[in-house]
Amino acid sequence: MRAYVVINEDLCKGSEICVATCPTETLSIAKDPNAKRYYPAVQHDVENCTGCKQCALMCPEVAIKVIVA
């Protein structure tokens, strides 16, 4: 099973809640801002994502989808 985190960078305000919530530490904050000058979350480690969806559940902007394949 492989899981992917899809983050809508236009919606993300960089609250870092998803980063703090991720039990496998697969998310981080981007080095470059989005169009609204927020630093969005990014999935930096695809291999360790378990598809738990904690990041999506905790995102206040509903900017995250988790796809499990």
Please tell me the class of the 3-68 domain.
alpha beta
List the structure tokens of 9: 């960078």
Long-range contacts of range 44-48, CB-CB < 8 Å, 24 or more positions apart? 46/2, 46/4, 48/24
pLDDT for 1: 77
Cβ atoms < 10 Å from Cβ of 8:
14
pLDDT tens across 43-67, in order?
999 899 999 999 999 999 999 999 9
List the structure tokens of 57: 């559940």
pTM confidence score = 0.90
CB 26, CB 5: distance < 8 Å: yes
* Residue 45: C-alpha distances to residues 22, 37, 50, 59 (Å): 11, 24, 11, 19
Domain extent listing, the chain: 3-68
